[in-house]
């Protein structure tokens, strides 16, 4: 591993753009914590990191959407202030967003004209679009309405919009996340062409294979800090994954070996099309969770976690009943309350607005998921006293800190609200629990409390499926881990027989054979070197 | 230069109660300026609009008779609007309710009743039931079109208002026309058994007012204390969380449209069997549309709606007085009611957000 550590002496000519000591705080949360980044003309520079590592924040600072709390941005060695995107564009910084901002009912040319100065609109613009199309292979019919275009064609519009301003630096935010492999390949050709013209590209991604193919330098972020810079082409996908995922190895809690017993949650060849443009289809997904077992699902956000959760909870139904079985009973076509009556419980990722209604009181939020399975209503009339009792039991059992006797859910801190929604489901003593990102954005004490409660629940025989992006969490609680990538699930591997590096590799999309090649043995020393 | 709205950390409950009162005060002040510009003393206008209608027994009854249908319809509409469904067609459901109940009255015209005593006490309940059911059935058209075919309920419910009005117009000019009515487009006058009785001998206040109050009370109870009401509130508060609670969109849509259609139909037949006493081409001075304003002025809660209906009824009666006494145009009343709604909604925004003036260009393009 020859990754140079941050703050290594900087050599070479003055970079085109530099960012030094960038700190960005949102209240008490530090999204960027002293980041240095140099971008030179004619290079494709990768910005690598997991979700929440601080990539988006840094990118928004460079494009003038956010101002840093501390630190400076330089252009050819001079300090510049990027107060807004106009200032960034004036310096030659262009951006291709992950989610397109296009008007569906307008044509390609109209969409491009919208962002151009009025003097440049009209026929000349149509000719320039055609010219760029010829030069770069960005083929677009200016007269086509946007709604009739594929995701790849829409992205070309964004790229053309950006190129019309003749940028010196193009920032691309996860540009392949919505593209098919063929479209991605065409994009790479365009990007290589731009690089050869001497433009700089900042390529934000967590797809290791792409980064290795395109980029000559990479800056790797974790937890808001730069943890290394390297030449990705000299690295392996494995070593990049190790840098990205992190190496702070915590002691894995030894688990008692439970005898293999009845399967409680079975997903059998579940296939569902993507529910929307930016969603992920589920591809022939199968899994089994036995009594007392905790199965961890790792994966980078946007690889089908939300879709899998909705399919398991019944918020989205499967085409056939046998696709999901709860305690042996087919449940694929049942709704969420029918599944709850079969003994299942669910904790979605988003606390505010999905697991709980922030404007409603805690007792009403207790009703929200328990009205079908607890005696909280009679003849259609609510038993508000019983709901308040239930809320009080949850609050006591999970040490939920709150102001007032029955406050609105939205007034609780993230950790306390998460304890409430997890407690609400665990107090139902479910036979099957599906929990998505159990401790996302939660302080350490609350996270420990929640993980312990999940472990205790499994100890009482519940089958638990934990979907999480936090590998440390999965290694702490799960008996085995499978990786969700692009809507497909790898086969589960016992936690004791795998490593963070192997899982990280699968998260980046490497094949299973590559990931498990020297199972768990090799990486330990390599990982130690970079930490 | 642009305005940014920043959410307040915790909306003050004190401000929340005060904001409609402040909005009302602001509306009165702005209205006063408009009145002064028309050359009339604002103080005199205030007295005519807000004090005079409450100073005489007959005008107090008029206020109550106008407020009752508004509040009843608006309570039904509150269910729809809380669930983010937009029934704009209460006017049509009102008309159809009045028409259906009126048909019962006309069909039983001159009936001797059951048995030797000539029991005709069933006619009025049958009319009320027919009006309510017709309102429900008429509201089911946009609800079913939305549930089954995904058609926007806003358009269908609004367009059906014209269908209802033209249907009533056709019926009173054609099949239901009084044969002895000198070709006037109106039906026979209903028998006494088909009229809502007056509450006090010789006064105009009739049983439609307590019926409306009962309906509003029932609506408040359903909204606050039943699982269905909880469902409606949950969908309004957080649609995704309501999905997590397992509430079905289709059932909810049909349910809230049934409630709002039924309430409007009941209000319609109460108006026909109460004040009018026969069918005629126009049976509503726009109650179904005004009720939309009332529902939002009352912030979609039944007690608030009752208060808002009284304010709107008061300004309408007061506006008639102003037209006669001060020669102020009726449009001024409408403008005032619209102003009041705008200010109440604006005050609601200000209780939840800070306004900040930001120098520089338009809002930055939001990133991903």
What would the pLDDT profile of A293-307 be if each residue is shown by its tens digit?
999 999 877 788 889
Phi/psi at A253 (5° precision): -65, 120
Q: Packing angle between helix B153-173 and helix B123-149, nearest 10 degrees?
A: 140
**Chain A contacts in chain B segment 232-251 (CB below 8 A):** 233-234, 237-238, 240-246, 248
CA distance B316 to B332: 10
Q: Are residues A320 and A454 in the same domain?
A: yes
Q: Could you tell me whether strands A294-298 and A480-485 are parallel, antiparallel, or unpaired per DSSP bridges? A: parallel
SS3 category, A250? coil
Residue A38: give the domain boundaries.
17-92+167-235
Q: Are residues A48 and A127 in the same domain?
A: no
CA distance A289 to chain B (A): 23
Q: Are residues A87 and A26 in the same domain?
A: yes
Q: Are residues A67 and A133 in the same domain?
A: no
pLDDT (0 to 100) of residue A142: 83
- Please check the confidence at residue A5 and state whether its pLDDT lies above 60: no
Q: Are residues A26 and A140 in the same domain?
A: no
Interface residue B367 vs chain A (CB under 8 A): yes
Contacts of B227 in chain A (CB under 8 A): 371, 377, 380-382
* pLDDT band at residue A521 using 50, 70 and 90 as cut-offs: very low
Q: Are residues A208 and A293 in the same domain?
A: no
Q: Packing angle between helix A414-426 and helix A362-370, nearest 10 degrees?
A: 40
User: A239: Cβ–Cβ under 8 A, 6 or more apart, which residues?
Assistant: A1, A3, A526, A530
Domain end among A142, A166, A190: A166
Q: Let me know if residue A33 belongs to a domain.
A: yes
**Mean of the pLDDT values across residues A215-219?**
91
Mean pLDDT of chain B: 89
Q: Are residues A285 and A160 in the same domain?
A: no
Q: Could you tell me whether strands A217-222 and A381-382 are parallel, antiparallel, or unpaired per DSSP bridges? A: unpaired
pLDDT (0 to 100) of residue A1: 39
Contact B368 A63 (CB under 8 A): no
pLDDT in tens, B281-294: 999 999 999 999 99
Q: Assign residue A185 the CATH number of its domain.
A: 3.40.50.300
Contact A512, A490 (CB under 8 A): yes
Domain ranges of chain B: 69-111+120-304
Q: Is B202 left (phi over 0), alpha (psi -120 to 50) or beta?
A: left
CA distance B312 to B75: 15
Contact B244 A97 (CB under 8 A): no
Structure tokens at B233: 């509130």
Q: Are residues A231 and A109 in the same domain?
A: no
Q: Could you tell me whether strands A263-272 and A381-382 are parallel, antiparallel, or unpaired per DSSP bridges? A: unpaired
pLDDT in tens, B14-69: 777 788 888 889 999 999 999 999 888 999 999 998 999 999 899 999 999 999 99
Q: Let me know if residue A364 belongs to a domain.
A: no
Q: Are residues A47 and A24 in the same domain?
A: yes
pTM of the shown model: 0.71
Q: Are residues A73 and A150 in the same domain?
A: no
CA distance B368 to B325: 60
pLDDT (0 to 100) of residue A241: 73
Q: Are residues A338 and A448 in the same domain?
A: yes
Of B237, B246, B367, the CB nearest to A60: B367
Interface residue B225 vs chain A (CB under 8 A): yes
CA distance B122 to A215: 85
The one-character DSSP state at A352 is B
Q: Are residues A148 and A231 in the same domain?
A: no
Domain count, chain A: 3
- Please check the confidence at residue B92 and state whether its pLDDT lies above 80: yes
Mutate to test the interface with A, among B83, B232, B239, B241 (most CBs of A within 10 A): B241
The one-character DSSP state at A290 is E
Contact A305, A489 (CB under 8 A): no
Q: Packing angle between helix B287-297 and helix B302-325, nearest 10 degrees?
A: 120
CA distance A530 to B279: 87
Q: Which of A95, A74, A69, A83 is nearest to A17 (CA)?
A: A74
CA distance A53 to A244: 9
Between A335 and A128, the more confident residue is: A335
**Mean of the pLDDT values across residues B172-184?**
89
SS3 category, A207? coil
Q: Packing angle between helix B249-271 and helix B90-107, nearest 10 degrees?
A: 50
pLDDT in tens, B306-354: 999 999 999 999 999 898 988 888 888 889 888 988 998 888 888 877 7
Q: Is A356 left (phi over 0), alpha (psi -120 to 50) or beta?
A: beta
H, E, C per residue of chain B: CEEEEEECCCCCHHHHHHHHHHHHHHHHHHHHHHHHHCCCCHHHHHHHHHHHHHCCHHHHHHHHHHHHHHHHHHHHHHHHHHCCCCCCCHHHHHHHHHHHHHHHHHHCCCCCCECCCCECCCHHHHHHHHHHHHHHHHHHHHHHHHHHHCCCHHHHHHHHHHHHHHHHHHHHHCCCCCCCCCCCCCCCCCCHHHCCCECCCCCCCECHHHHHHHHHHHHHHHHHHEHHHHHHHHHHHCHHHHHHCCCCHHHHHHHHHHHHHHHHHHHHHHHHHHHHCCCCCCCCCCHHHHHHHHHHHCCCCHHHHHHHHHHHHHHHHHHHHHHHHCCCCHHHHHHHHHHHHHHHHHHHHHHHEEEEEECCCCCCCCCC
Contact A403, A374 (CB under 8 A): no
CA distance A348 to A434: 8
Of B225, B361, B365, the CB nearest to A382: B225
């Amino acid at each position: 591993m020859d990754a140079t550590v941050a703050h290594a002496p900087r050599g070479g000519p003055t970079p085109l753009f530099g960012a030094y000591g960038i700190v960005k705080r949102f209240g008490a949360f530090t999204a960027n914590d002293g980041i240095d980044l140099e971008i030179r003309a004619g290079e494709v520079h990768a910005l690598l990191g997991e979700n929440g590592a601080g990539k988006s924040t840094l990118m928004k600072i460079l494009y003038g959407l956010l101002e840093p709390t501390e630190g400076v941005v330089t252009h050819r060695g001079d300090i510049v202030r990027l107060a807004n995107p106009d200032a960034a564009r004036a310096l030659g910084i262009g951006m291709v967003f992950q989610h397109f901002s296009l008007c569906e009912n307008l044509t390609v040319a109209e969409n491009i004209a919208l962002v151009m100065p009025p003097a440049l609109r009209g026929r000349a613009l149509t000719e320039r679009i055609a010219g760029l199309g010829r030069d770069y292979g960005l083929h677009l019919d200016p007269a086509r309405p946007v709604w009739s275009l594929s995701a790849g064609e829409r992205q070309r519009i964004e790229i053309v919009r950006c190129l019309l301003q003749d940028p010196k630096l193009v920032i691309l935010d996860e540009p392949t996340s919505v593209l098919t492999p063929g479209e991605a390949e065409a994009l790479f050709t365009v990007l290589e062409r731009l690089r050869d013209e001497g433009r700089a590209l900042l390529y934000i991604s967590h797809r290791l294979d792409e980064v290795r193919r395109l980029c000559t330098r990479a800056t790797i972020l974790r937890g808001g800090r730069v943890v290394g810079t390297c030449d990705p082409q000299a690295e392996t996908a494995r070593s990049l994954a190790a840098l990205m995922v992190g190496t702070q190895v915590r002691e894995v809690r030894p688990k008692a070996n439970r005898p293999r017993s009845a399967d409680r949650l079975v997903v059998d060849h579940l296939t569902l099309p993507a529910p929307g443009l930016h969603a992920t289809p589920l591809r022939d997904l199968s899994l089994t969770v036995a009594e007392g077992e905790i199965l961890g699902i790792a994966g980078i956000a946007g690889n089908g976690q939300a879709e899998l959760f909705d399919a398991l909870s019944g918020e989205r139904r499967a085409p056939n009943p046998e696709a999901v079985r709860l305690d042996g009973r087919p449940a694929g076509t049942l709704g969420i309350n029918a599944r709850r009556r079969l003994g299942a419980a669910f904790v979605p990722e988003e606390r505010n607005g999905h697991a709980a209604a922030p404007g409603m009181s805690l007792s009403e939020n207790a009703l929200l998921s328990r009205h079908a399975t607890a005696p909280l209503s009679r003849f259609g009339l609510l038993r508000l006293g019983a709901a308040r009792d239930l809320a009080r039991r949850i609050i006591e059992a999970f040490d939920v800190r709150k102001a007032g006797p029955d406050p609105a859910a939205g007034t609780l801190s993230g950790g306390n609200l998460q304890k409430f929604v997890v407690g609400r489901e665990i107090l139902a003593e479910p036979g099957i629990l599906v929990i998505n990102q159990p401790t996302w954005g939660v302080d350490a004490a609350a996270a420990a409390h929640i993980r312990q409660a999940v472990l205790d629940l499994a100890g009482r025989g519940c089958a638990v499926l934990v979907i999480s992006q936090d590998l440390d969490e999965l290694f702490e609680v799960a008996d085995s881990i499978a990786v969700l990538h692009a809507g497909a699930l790898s086969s589960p591997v016992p936690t004791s027989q795998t490593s963070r590096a192997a899982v990280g590799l699968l998260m980046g999309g490497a094949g299973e054979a590559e990931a498990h090649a020297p199972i768990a043995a090799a990486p330990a020393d390599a990982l130690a070197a970079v930490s | 230069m642009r305005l940014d709205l920043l959410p307040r950390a915790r909306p003050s409950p004190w401000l929340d109660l005060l904001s409609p009162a402040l909005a009302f005060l602001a509306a009165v002040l702005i209205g006063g300026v408009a009145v002064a510009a028309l050359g009339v003393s604002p103080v005199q206008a205030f007295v005519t609009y807000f004090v005079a209608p409450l100073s005489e027994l007959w005008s107090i009854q008029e206020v109550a008779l106008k407020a009752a249908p508004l509040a009843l319809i608006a309570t039904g509409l509150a269910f729809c609007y809380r669930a983010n469904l937009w029934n704009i067609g209460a006017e049509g459901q009102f008309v159809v309710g009045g028409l259906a109940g009126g048909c019962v009255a006309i069909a039983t015209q001159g009936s001797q009743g059951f048995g030797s005593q000539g029991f005709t006490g069933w006619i009025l309940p049958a009319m009320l039931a027919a009006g309510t059911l017709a309102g429900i059935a008429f509201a089911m058209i946009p609800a079913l079109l939305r549930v089954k075919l995904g058609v926007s309920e806003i358009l269908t419910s609004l367009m059906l208002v014209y269908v209802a009005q033209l249907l009533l117009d056709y019926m009173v000019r054609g099949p239901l026309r009084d044969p002895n009515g000198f070709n006037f487009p109106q039906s026979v006058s209903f028998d006494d058994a088909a009229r809502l009785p007056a509450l006090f001998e010789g006064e105009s206040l009739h049983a439609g007012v307590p019926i409306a109050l009962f309906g509003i009370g029932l609506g408040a109870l359903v909204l606050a204390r039943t699982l269905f009401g909880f469902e409606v509130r949950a969908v309004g508060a957080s649609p995704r969380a309501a999905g997590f609670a397992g509430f079905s969109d289709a059932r909810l849509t049909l349910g809230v449209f049934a409630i709002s259609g039924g309430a409007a139909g009941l209000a319609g037949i109460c108006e026909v069997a109460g004040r009018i006493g026969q069918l005629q081409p126009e049976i509503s001075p726009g109650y179904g549309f005004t009720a939309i304003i009332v529902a939002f002025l009352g912030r979609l809660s039944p007690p608030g709606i009752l208060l808002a209906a009284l304010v709107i009824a008061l300004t309408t009666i007061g506006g008639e007085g102003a037209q006669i006494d001060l020669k102020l145009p009726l449009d001024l009343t409408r403008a005032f009611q619209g102003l009041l709604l705008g200010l109440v909604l604006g005050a609601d925004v200000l209780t939840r957000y800070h306004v900040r003036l930001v120098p520089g260009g338009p809002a930055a393009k939001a990133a991903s």
